[in-house]
Chains A and B, each alone.
Chain A
Protein backbone atom coordinates (compact mmCIF):
# COMPACT_ATOMS: atom_id res chain seq x y z
CA UNK A 1 0.00 0.00 0.00
CA UNK A 2 1.34 3.41 -0.84
CA UNK A 3 0.08 6.43 0.98
CA UNK A 4 1.02 9.79 -0.36
CA UNK A 5 3.00 11.93 2.03
CA UNK A 6 2.20 15.56 2.70
CA UNK A 7 4.80 18.25 2.11
CA UNK A 8 5.31 21.31 4.27
CA UNK A 9 5.37 24.76 2.62
CA UNK A 10 9.17 24.71 3.08
CA UNK A 11 9.67 21.41 1.27
CA UNK A 12 11.45 22.91 -1.75
CA UNK A 13 13.82 24.87 0.49
CA UNK A 14 14.83 21.71 2.36
CA UNK A 15 15.56 19.83 -0.86
CA UNK A 16 17.48 22.76 -2.28
CA UNK A 17 19.60 22.77 0.90
CA UNK A 18 20.42 19.10 0.36
CA UNK A 19 18.33 17.76 3.21
CA UNK A 20 17.80 14.05 3.59
CA UNK A 21 14.01 13.70 3.59
CA UNK A 22 12.24 10.94 5.51
CA UNK A 23 8.61 10.06 6.09
CA UNK A 24 7.44 11.24 9.52
CA UNK A 25 3.86 11.33 10.78
CA UNK A 26 2.46 11.46 7.27
CA UNK A 27 4.86 14.18 6.09
CA UNK A 28 8.12 14.19 4.22
CA UNK A 29 10.42 15.90 6.68
CA UNK A 30 14.12 16.81 6.72
CA UNK A 31 15.95 14.52 9.13
CA UNK A 32 19.27 16.31 8.58
CA UNK A 33 20.85 18.80 6.21
CA UNK A 34 24.51 17.94 6.76
CA UNK A 35 25.39 16.53 10.15
CA UNK A 36 23.08 15.92 13.10
CA UNK A 37 25.90 16.81 15.50
CA UNK A 38 26.71 20.11 13.74
CA UNK A 39 23.04 21.07 13.66
CA UNK A 40 22.65 20.14 17.32
CA UNK A 41 25.67 22.23 18.28
CA UNK A 42 24.49 25.21 16.23
CA UNK A 43 21.28 25.24 18.24
CA UNK A 44 23.14 25.08 21.56
CA UNK A 45 25.68 27.79 20.67
CA UNK A 46 23.88 30.08 18.19
CA UNK A 47 20.45 29.11 16.95
CA UNK A 48 18.68 26.51 14.90
CA UNK A 49 15.75 26.96 12.53
CA UNK A 50 13.28 24.12 12.54
CA UNK A 51 10.43 23.51 10.15
CA UNK A 52 7.79 22.14 12.49
CA UNK A 53 4.88 22.68 10.15
CA UNK A 54 3.91 19.04 10.58
CA UNK A 55 2.74 19.78 14.13
CA UNK A 56 -1.05 20.04 14.25
CA UNK A 57 -2.65 23.44 14.88
CA UNK A 58 -6.26 23.47 16.06
CA UNK A 59 -8.06 26.74 16.64
CA UNK A 60 -11.01 27.15 19.01
CA UNK A 61 -13.31 30.14 18.55
CA UNK A 62 -16.42 31.18 20.37
CA UNK A 63 -17.70 31.64 23.89
CA UNK A 64 -16.90 28.75 26.14
CA UNK A 65 -13.87 27.40 24.29
CA UNK A 66 -11.92 27.71 27.56
CA UNK A 67 -14.50 25.47 29.26
CA UNK A 68 -14.29 22.88 26.49
CA UNK A 69 -10.50 22.83 26.83
CA UNK A 70 -10.80 22.73 30.62
CA UNK A 71 -12.83 19.56 30.27
CA UNK A 72 -10.28 17.98 27.91
CA UNK A 73 -6.99 18.97 29.50
CA UNK A 74 -5.18 17.96 32.68
CA UNK A 75 -4.41 21.65 33.17
CA UNK A 76 -6.88 24.43 33.84
CA UNK A 77 -7.44 26.62 30.78
CA UNK A 78 -10.34 28.78 32.00
CA UNK A 79 -7.90 30.99 33.92
CA UNK A 80 -5.32 31.19 31.13
CA UNK A 81 -4.87 34.91 30.55
CA UNK A 82 -4.72 36.45 27.10
CA UNK A 83 -1.19 36.10 25.77
CA UNK A 84 -0.37 33.11 27.98
CA UNK A 85 0.66 29.61 26.89
CA UNK A 86 0.19 26.44 28.91
CA UNK A 87 1.46 22.87 28.51
CA UNK A 88 -1.01 20.12 29.33
CA UNK A 89 -2.09 16.62 28.47
CA UNK A 90 -5.20 15.17 26.94
CA UNK A 91 -6.03 11.87 28.61
CA UNK A 92 -8.64 9.19 28.16
CA UNK A 93 -10.94 8.17 31.01
CA UNK A 94 -8.30 5.72 32.27
CA UNK A 95 -5.72 8.49 32.52
CA UNK A 96 -3.82 7.18 29.46
CA UNK A 97 -2.16 9.95 27.49
CA UNK A 98 -3.79 10.74 24.13
CA UNK A 99 -1.41 13.63 23.49
CA UNK A 100 0.63 16.35 25.11
CA UNK A 101 -0.25 19.80 23.83
CA UNK A 102 0.38 23.52 24.14
CA UNK A 103 -2.60 25.84 24.43
CA UNK A 104 -2.29 29.58 23.78
CA UNK A 105 -4.90 32.22 24.50
CA UNK A 106 -4.61 34.77 21.72
CA UNK A 107 -6.12 38.04 20.60
CA UNK A 108 -6.30 39.07 16.95
CA UNK A 109 -5.60 42.69 15.90
CA UNK A 110 -9.38 43.06 15.46
CA UNK A 111 -9.81 42.08 19.10
CA UNK A 112 -11.17 38.61 18.58
CA UNK A 113 -10.13 36.12 21.22
CA UNK A 114 -9.40 32.47 20.57
CA UNK A 115 -7.46 29.48 21.81
CA UNK A 116 -4.86 27.69 19.73
CA UNK A 117 -3.82 24.13 20.50
CA UNK A 118 -0.61 22.69 19.05
CA UNK A 119 -0.72 18.89 18.96
CA UNK A 120 1.74 16.23 17.85
CA UNK A 121 1.71 15.55 14.13
CA UNK A 122 1.13 11.85 14.67
CA UNK A 123 -1.90 12.58 16.87
CA UNK A 124 -3.57 15.34 14.88
CA UNK A 125 -6.35 13.25 13.40
CA UNK A 126 -6.89 11.29 16.60
CA UNK A 127 -7.21 14.43 18.69
CA UNK A 128 -9.50 16.15 16.19
CA UNK A 129 -11.79 13.11 16.28
CA UNK A 130 -11.53 12.91 20.07
CA UNK A 131 -12.64 16.52 20.49
CA UNK A 132 -15.34 16.56 17.79
CA UNK A 133 -18.11 14.82 19.80
CA UNK A 134 -17.47 17.10 22.79
CA UNK A 135 -18.33 20.14 20.67
CA UNK A 136 -22.01 19.21 20.96
CA UNK A 137 -21.87 20.21 24.65
CA UNK A 138 -20.39 23.58 23.73
CA UNK A 139 -22.61 24.78 20.88
CA UNK A 140 -20.98 28.21 20.67
CA UNK A 141 -17.51 26.75 20.12
CA UNK A 142 -16.04 25.94 16.72
CA UNK A 143 -12.87 23.95 16.10
CA UNK A 144 -10.84 24.61 12.94
CA UNK A 145 -7.80 22.65 11.81
CA UNK A 146 -5.35 25.36 10.73
CA UNK A 147 -2.44 23.01 10.03
CA UNK A 148 -2.61 23.02 6.23
CA UNK A 149 -3.09 26.74 5.78
CA UNK A 150 -0.24 27.73 8.08
CA UNK A 151 3.41 26.88 8.62
CA UNK A 152 5.27 26.67 11.90
CA UNK A 153 8.92 27.61 12.33
CA UNK A 154 10.89 27.25 15.54
CA UNK A 155 13.96 29.41 16.16
CA UNK A 156 15.84 28.06 19.14
CA UNK A 157 19.14 28.91 20.71
CA UNK A 158 21.03 31.53 22.73
CA UNK A 159 21.09 33.97 19.78
CA UNK A 160 17.48 33.38 18.70
CA UNK A 161 15.84 36.21 20.63
CA UNK A 162 18.28 38.95 19.73
CA UNK A 163 18.41 38.14 16.02
CA UNK A 164 14.69 37.47 15.53
CA UNK A 165 13.84 40.67 17.31
CA UNK A 166 15.43 42.66 14.47
CA UNK A 167 12.80 41.35 12.08
CA UNK A 168 9.85 42.73 13.98
CA UNK A 169 8.60 46.25 14.56
CA UNK A 170 7.47 45.38 18.06
CA UNK A 171 10.00 44.30 20.66
CA UNK A 172 9.33 40.56 20.77
CA UNK A 173 12.26 40.07 23.14
CA UNK A 174 9.92 41.45 25.83
CA UNK A 175 7.69 38.40 25.44
CA UNK A 176 8.14 36.29 28.54
CA UNK A 177 8.70 32.53 28.55
CA UNK A 178 5.41 30.74 27.82
CA UNK A 179 3.65 33.78 26.44
CA UNK A 180 2.51 34.43 22.88
CA UNK A 181 0.98 37.17 20.79
CA UNK A 182 -0.39 37.82 17.36
CA UNK A 183 1.72 40.45 15.66
CA UNK A 184 2.98 41.36 12.20
CA UNK A 185 6.16 40.82 10.28
CA UNK A 186 6.51 42.83 7.06
CA UNK A 187 2.80 43.58 7.28
CA UNK A 188 1.76 39.93 7.48
CA UNK A 189 0.23 38.28 10.54
CA UNK A 190 2.39 36.00 12.63
CA UNK A 191 1.87 34.30 15.95
CA UNK A 192 5.02 34.56 18.05
CA UNK A 193 5.31 32.23 21.01
CA UNK A 194 8.22 32.07 23.46
CA UNK A 195 8.22 28.30 23.64
CA UNK A 196 10.24 25.44 22.23
CA UNK A 197 11.32 21.86 22.37
CA UNK A 198 15.10 22.00 22.59
CA UNK A 199 15.94 23.18 26.12
CA UNK A 200 17.03 26.53 24.65
CA UNK A 201 15.35 29.89 24.71
CA UNK A 202 13.62 30.87 21.50
CA UNK A 203 10.43 31.36 19.57
CA UNK A 204 7.93 29.33 17.68
CA UNK A 205 6.34 31.26 14.84
CA UNK A 206 3.12 30.44 13.04
CA UNK A 207 2.62 32.14 9.70
CA UNK A 208 0.36 31.73 6.69
CA UNK A 209 1.60 28.89 4.50
CA UNK A 210 2.36 31.26 1.62
CA UNK A 211 4.56 33.41 3.90
CA UNK A 212 6.63 30.51 5.19
CA UNK A 213 9.53 30.74 2.75
CA UNK A 214 9.90 34.49 3.10
CA UNK A 215 9.93 34.38 6.91
CA UNK A 216 12.31 31.40 6.93
CA UNK A 217 14.73 33.14 4.54
CA UNK A 218 14.50 36.40 6.54
CA UNK A 219 15.51 34.66 9.75
CA UNK A 220 18.21 32.63 8.02
CA UNK A 221 19.66 35.78 6.51
CA UNK A 222 19.49 37.73 9.77
CA UNK A 223 21.27 34.96 11.63
CA UNK A 224 23.84 34.11 9.00
CA UNK A 225 26.68 36.00 10.67
CA UNK A 226 26.19 34.29 14.01
CA UNK A 227 25.91 30.77 12.62
CA UNK A 228 22.18 30.07 12.41
CA UNK A 229 21.62 26.67 10.86
CA UNK A 230 18.62 24.82 9.55
CA UNK A 231 18.12 21.86 11.89
CA UNK A 232 16.41 18.60 10.98
CA UNK A 233 14.37 16.15 12.99
CA UNK A 234 17.49 14.15 13.88
CA UNK A 235 18.96 16.95 15.98
CA UNK A 236 15.52 17.99 17.20
CA UNK A 237 15.39 14.56 18.83
CA UNK A 238 18.86 14.72 20.42
CA UNK A 239 18.13 18.25 21.66
CA UNK A 240 14.82 17.36 23.28
CA UNK A 241 16.35 14.20 24.74
CA UNK A 242 19.07 16.19 26.50
CA UNK A 243 16.37 18.50 27.83
CA UNK A 244 14.42 15.37 28.94
CA UNK A 245 11.30 16.52 27.15
CA UNK A 246 8.93 13.63 26.56
CA UNK A 247 8.11 12.64 23.00
CA UNK A 248 4.75 11.10 22.21
CA UNK A 249 5.13 7.49 21.08
CA UNK A 250 8.22 7.13 23.28
CA UNK A 251 7.79 8.46 26.82
CA UNK A 252 4.06 9.00 26.34
CA UNK A 253 1.29 6.87 24.89
CA UNK A 254 -2.16 5.62 25.83
CA UNK A 255 -0.57 2.98 28.08
CA UNK A 256 1.30 5.61 30.08
CA UNK A 257 -0.04 8.32 32.37
CA UNK A 258 1.24 11.81 33.22
CA UNK A 259 2.10 10.87 36.82
CA UNK A 260 4.42 8.00 35.84
CA UNK A 261 5.94 10.24 33.17
CA UNK A 262 6.92 12.83 35.77
CA UNK A 263 4.39 15.35 34.46
CA UNK A 264 2.35 15.82 37.63
CA UNK A 265 3.18 19.55 37.37
CA UNK A 266 0.97 19.58 34.28
CA UNK A 267 -2.01 18.09 36.14
CA UNK A 268 -4.28 20.36 38.07
CA UNK A 269 -6.81 18.63 40.33
CA UNK A 270 -7.98 21.31 42.72
CA UNK A 271 -11.68 22.22 42.43
CA UNK A 272 -12.08 20.88 38.93
CA UNK A 273 -12.77 17.78 36.91
CA UNK A 274 -11.54 16.73 33.49
CA UNK A 275 -11.51 13.57 31.42
CA UNK A 276 -9.29 11.06 33.21
CA UNK A 277 -9.08 12.98 36.48
CA UNK A 278 -10.48 10.17 38.64
CA UNK A 279 -8.00 7.64 37.29
CA UNK A 280 -5.14 10.10 37.74
CA UNK A 281 -6.19 11.01 41.30
CA UNK A 282 -6.09 7.29 42.05
CA UNK A 283 -2.55 7.01 40.66
CA UNK A 284 -1.46 10.02 42.71
CA UNK A 285 -3.00 8.45 45.83
CA UNK A 286 -1.45 4.99 45.42
CA UNK A 287 1.72 6.09 43.65
CA UNK A 288 2.57 5.17 40.04
CA UNK A 289 3.65 1.59 39.26
CA UNK A 290 6.55 2.77 37.16
CA UNK A 291 8.45 6.02 36.90
CA UNK A 292 10.39 7.80 34.18
CA UNK A 293 14.06 8.22 35.05
CA UNK A 294 17.29 9.34 33.39
CA UNK A 295 20.19 6.96 32.82
CA UNK A 296 23.79 7.41 31.73
CA UNK A 297 25.26 4.17 30.39
CA UNK A 298 28.97 3.62 31.06
CA UNK A 299 31.22 3.88 28.04
CA UNK A 300 30.38 5.14 24.58
CA UNK A 301 27.79 2.64 23.45
CA UNK A 302 24.32 4.21 23.27
CA UNK A 303 21.38 2.35 24.77
CA UNK A 304 18.39 2.94 22.57
CA UNK A 305 14.61 2.69 22.73
CA UNK A 306 13.44 -0.81 23.53
CA UNK A 307 16.55 -1.93 25.43
CA UNK A 308 15.62 -3.67 28.68
CA UNK A 309 16.66 -2.11 31.97
CA UNK A 310 17.78 -4.54 34.69
CA UNK A 311 18.29 -3.96 38.38
CA UNK A 312 21.90 -4.15 39.60
CA UNK A 313 21.24 -7.85 40.40
CA UNK A 314 20.07 -8.57 36.86
CA UNK A 315 16.26 -8.67 37.11
CA UNK A 316 14.26 -6.98 34.35
CA UNK A 317 12.62 -3.91 35.86
CA UNK A 318 12.10 -1.53 32.97
CA UNK A 319 12.66 -0.40 29.42
CA UNK A 320 14.41 2.46 27.63
CA UNK A 321 11.96 4.83 25.92
CA UNK A 322 14.52 7.12 24.21
CA UNK A 323 18.27 6.92 24.11
CA UNK A 324 21.28 7.86 22.11
CA UNK A 325 24.46 9.84 22.15
CA UNK A 326 24.33 13.31 23.70
CA UNK A 327 26.35 15.64 21.47
CA UNK A 328 26.47 18.33 24.19
CA UNK A 329 27.60 16.03 26.99
CA UNK A 330 29.76 13.71 24.87
CA UNK A 331 28.37 10.49 26.31
CA UNK A 332 25.22 8.43 25.83
CA UNK A 333 22.01 9.30 27.66
CA UNK A 334 18.71 7.48 27.96
CA UNK A 335 15.27 7.85 29.48
CA UNK A 336 13.52 4.78 30.84
CA UNK A 337 10.46 3.63 32.71
CA UNK A 338 11.44 1.51 35.70
CA UNK A 339 9.34 -0.20 38.38
CA UNK A 340 8.57 2.30 41.12
CA UNK A 341 10.35 0.30 43.84
CA UNK A 342 13.57 0.70 41.85
CA UNK A 343 13.08 4.36 40.97
CA UNK A 344 15.51 5.51 43.67
CA UNK A 345 18.24 2.99 42.72
CA UNK A 346 21.49 4.52 41.56
CA UNK A 347 22.94 1.62 39.55
CA UNK A 348 21.28 -0.32 36.78
CA UNK A 349 22.23 -2.60 33.93
CA UNK A 350 21.01 -2.25 30.38
CA UNK A 351 20.70 -5.10 27.94
CA UNK A 352 21.96 -3.58 24.68
CA UNK A 353 21.15 -6.22 22.09
CA UNK A 354 22.54 -9.09 24.13
CA UNK A 355 25.44 -7.28 25.79
CA UNK A 356 25.03 -5.86 29.25
CA UNK A 357 26.21 -2.36 30.10
CA UNK A 358 26.18 -0.70 33.51
CA UNK A 359 24.33 2.58 33.89
CA UNK A 360 23.88 5.20 36.55
CA UNK A 361 20.77 7.15 37.30
CA UNK A 362 21.01 10.91 36.85
CA UNK A 363 18.50 13.61 37.65
CA UNK A 364 16.51 14.89 34.66
CA UNK A 365 17.08 16.94 32.60
CA UNK A 366 20.48 15.87 31.35
CA UNK A 367 21.11 19.38 30.05
CA UNK A 368 20.00 22.74 31.39
CA UNK A 369 20.90 25.90 29.53
CA UNK A 370 23.14 28.32 31.39
CA UNK A 371 21.01 30.98 33.04
CA UNK A 372 21.63 34.48 31.76
Chain B
Protein backbone atom coordinates (compact mmCIF):
# COMPACT_ATOMS: atom_id res chain seq x y z
CA UNK B 1 0.00 0.00 0.00
CA UNK B 2 1.41 3.29 -0.82
CA UNK B 3 0.64 6.52 0.89
CA UNK B 4 -1.01 9.26 -1.17
CA UNK B 5 0.88 12.46 -0.49
CA UNK B 6 -2.11 14.56 -1.47
CA UNK B 7 -4.08 13.08 1.48
CA UNK B 8 -1.44 13.88 4.09
CA UNK B 9 -1.20 16.82 6.48
CA UNK B 10 1.91 18.98 6.60
CA UNK B 11 3.69 21.16 9.14
CA UNK B 12 5.38 24.45 8.28
CA UNK B 13 8.64 22.74 9.19
CA UNK B 14 8.11 20.19 6.35
CA UNK B 15 7.06 17.11 8.32
CA UNK B 16 4.13 15.11 6.94
CA UNK B 17 1.50 13.49 9.13
CA UNK B 18 -0.76 10.54 8.36
CA UNK B 19 -3.36 9.81 11.05
CA UNK B 20 -5.09 6.45 11.41
CA UNK B 21 -7.21 4.78 14.08
CA UNK B 22 -5.55 1.79 15.67
CA UNK B 23 -7.37 -0.03 18.50
CA UNK B 24 -9.22 3.05 19.57
CA UNK B 25 -6.10 5.26 19.57
CA UNK B 26 -5.20 7.86 17.02
CA UNK B 27 -1.75 7.05 15.65
CA UNK B 28 0.12 9.62 13.57
CA UNK B 29 2.81 8.34 11.21
CA UNK B 30 5.36 11.08 10.56
CA UNK B 31 8.04 11.68 7.96
CA UNK B 32 9.62 14.55 6.06
CA UNK B 33 8.35 15.81 2.72
CA UNK B 34 9.91 15.26 -0.68
CA UNK B 35 10.46 19.02 -0.88
CA UNK B 36 12.43 19.03 2.38
CA UNK B 37 14.50 16.04 1.28
CA UNK B 38 15.35 17.75 -1.97
CA UNK B 39 16.28 20.97 -0.20
CA UNK B 40 18.45 19.17 2.34
CA UNK B 41 20.24 17.24 -0.44
CA UNK B 42 22.60 14.29 0.11
CA UNK B 43 21.30 13.01 3.45
CA UNK B 44 23.90 11.09 5.41
CA UNK B 45 22.51 10.57 8.90
CA UNK B 46 19.27 10.54 10.85
CA UNK B 47 18.87 10.45 14.60
CA UNK B 48 15.59 8.84 15.71
CA UNK B 49 13.69 9.54 18.92
CA UNK B 50 13.36 6.98 21.71
CA UNK B 51 10.19 4.93 22.01
CA UNK B 52 8.09 6.21 24.89
CA UNK B 53 9.24 9.80 24.53
CA UNK B 54 6.48 12.35 25.15
CA UNK B 55 6.41 15.06 22.51
CA UNK B 56 4.68 18.42 22.46
CA UNK B 57 4.02 20.26 19.21
CA UNK B 58 7.27 21.84 18.03
CA UNK B 59 9.54 19.66 20.18
CA UNK B 60 12.75 18.56 18.54
CA UNK B 61 12.43 14.79 18.12
CA UNK B 62 15.50 14.02 16.05
CA UNK B 63 18.02 15.28 13.54
CA UNK B 64 18.64 14.78 9.90
CA UNK B 65 22.08 15.53 8.47
CA UNK B 66 23.14 16.31 4.97
CA UNK B 67 26.76 16.47 3.84
CA UNK B 68 26.83 20.13 4.77
CA UNK B 69 24.52 20.66 7.71
CA UNK B 70 22.48 19.32 10.58
CA UNK B 71 18.75 20.06 10.60
CA UNK B 72 16.54 19.44 13.63
CA UNK B 73 13.26 17.60 13.15
CA UNK B 74 10.25 19.11 14.91
CA UNK B 75 7.23 17.21 16.07
CA UNK B 76 4.11 18.34 14.22
CA UNK B 77 1.87 16.70 16.86
CA UNK B 78 1.75 16.02 20.59
CA UNK B 79 1.72 12.54 22.03
CA UNK B 80 3.88 9.55 22.81
CA UNK B 81 6.37 7.94 20.43
CA UNK B 82 5.18 4.33 20.03
CA UNK B 83 7.30 3.13 17.15
CA UNK B 84 10.37 4.29 15.20
CA UNK B 85 11.58 3.23 11.78
CA UNK B 86 14.88 1.80 12.96
CA UNK B 87 16.02 0.61 9.49
CA UNK B 88 15.73 4.11 8.07
CA UNK B 89 19.08 5.59 9.25
CA UNK B 90 21.00 2.69 7.70
CA UNK B 91 19.22 3.00 4.38
CA UNK B 92 18.82 6.72 4.29
CA UNK B 93 19.47 7.10 0.56
CA UNK B 94 16.20 5.22 -0.10
CA UNK B 95 14.29 8.14 1.39
CA UNK B 96 14.92 10.16 -1.78
CA UNK B 97 12.94 7.80 -3.95
CA UNK B 98 10.31 6.94 -1.37
CA UNK B 99 9.73 9.71 1.18
CA UNK B 100 6.13 8.79 2.02
CA UNK B 101 6.32 5.01 2.48
CA UNK B 102 9.82 3.78 3.22
CA UNK B 103 10.57 7.29 4.52
CA UNK B 104 8.36 7.16 7.59
CA UNK B 105 10.33 8.13 10.71
CA UNK B 106 8.10 7.52 13.74
CA UNK B 107 4.60 6.77 14.94
CA UNK B 108 3.09 8.90 17.67
CA UNK B 109 0.02 8.03 19.75
CA UNK B 110 -1.81 11.34 19.77
CA UNK B 111 -2.86 12.92 23.05
CA UNK B 112 -6.60 12.90 23.69
CA UNK B 113 -8.37 15.75 21.97
CA UNK B 114 -5.31 16.58 19.88
CA UNK B 115 -6.38 18.98 17.17
CA UNK B 116 -4.61 18.85 13.84
CA UNK B 117 -6.22 22.03 12.55
CA UNK B 118 -2.96 23.96 12.54
CA UNK B 119 -1.50 21.54 9.97
CA UNK B 120 -1.79 22.28 6.26
CA UNK B 121 -3.38 20.15 3.62
CA UNK B 122 -1.37 19.24 0.55
CA UNK B 123 -2.56 22.15 -1.59
CA UNK B 124 -1.68 24.76 1.03
CA UNK B 125 1.66 23.07 1.72
CA UNK B 126 2.53 23.00 -1.98
CA UNK B 127 1.86 26.71 -2.12
CA UNK B 128 4.19 27.32 0.82
CA UNK B 129 6.91 25.31 -0.93
CA UNK B 130 6.44 27.15 -4.20
CA UNK B 131 6.84 30.46 -2.41
CA UNK B 132 9.97 29.22 -0.65
CA UNK B 133 11.40 28.47 -4.09
The answer to the question of B67 belonging to the interface, with a C-beta cut-off of 8 Å to chain A, is: yes
Contact of A37 among B42, B45, B89 (CB under 8 A): B42
Q: Are A234 and B65 in contact (CB under 8 A)?
A: no
Contacts of A302 in B (CB 8 A): 44-45, 65
CB distance from A21 to the nearest CB of B (A): 12
The answer to the question of B47 belonging to the interface, with a C-beta cut-off of 8 Å to chain A, is: yes
The answer to the question of A78 belonging to the interface, with a C-beta cut-off of 8 Å to chain B, is: no
The answer to the question of A32 belonging to the interface, with a C-beta cut-off of 8 Å to chain B, is: yes
The answer to the question of A227 belonging to the interface, with a C-beta cut-off of 8 Å to chain B, is: no
The answer to the question of B127 belonging to the interface, with a C-beta cut-off of 8 Å to chain A, is: no
Q: Are B67 and A234 in contact (CB under 8 A)?
A: yes
The answer to the question of A120 belonging to the interface, with a C-beta cut-off of 8 Å to chain B, is: no
A81 to B77, CA, bound (A): 68
Contacts of A35 in B (CB 8 A): 41-42
Contact of B68 among A31, A301, A353 (CB under 8 A): A31
- For residues 60 through 75 of chain B, which have their beta carbon under 8 Å from a beta carbon of chain A? 63, 65-68, 70
Q: Using an 8 Å CB-CB cutoff, how does the interface string of B82-110 with A read, 1 for contact, 0 for none?
A: 00000001100000000000000000000
Contacts of B41 in A (CB 8 A): 32, 35-36
The answer to the question of A158 belonging to the interface, with a C-beta cut-off of 8 Å to chain B, is: no
Q: Are B45 and A301 in contact (CB under 8 A)?
A: yes
**Which of A31, A35, A301, A355 is the most central at the interface, judged by chain B CB atoms within 10 Å of its CB?**
A301
**Which of A37, A304, A327, A353 is the most central at the interface, judged by chain B CB atoms within 10 Å of its CB?**
A37
A37 to B67, CA, bound (A): 8
- For residues 6 through 43 of chain B, which have their beta carbon under 8 Å from a beta carbon of chain A? 41-42
A37 to B42, CA, bound (A): 7
CB distance from A275 to the nearest CB of B (A): 36
- For residues 299 through 353 of chain A, which have their beta carbon under 8 Å from a beta carbon of chain B? 300-302, 304, 324-325, 327, 332, 353
A-B contact pairs, 6 of them (CB 8 A): A31-B68, A35-B42, A36-B42, A36-B66, A301-B65, A325-B45
Where the two chains meet, the residues of A that have a C-beta atom closer than 8 Å to any C-beta of B are 31-32, 35-37, 234, 237-238, 300-302, 304, 324-325, 327, 332, 353, 355
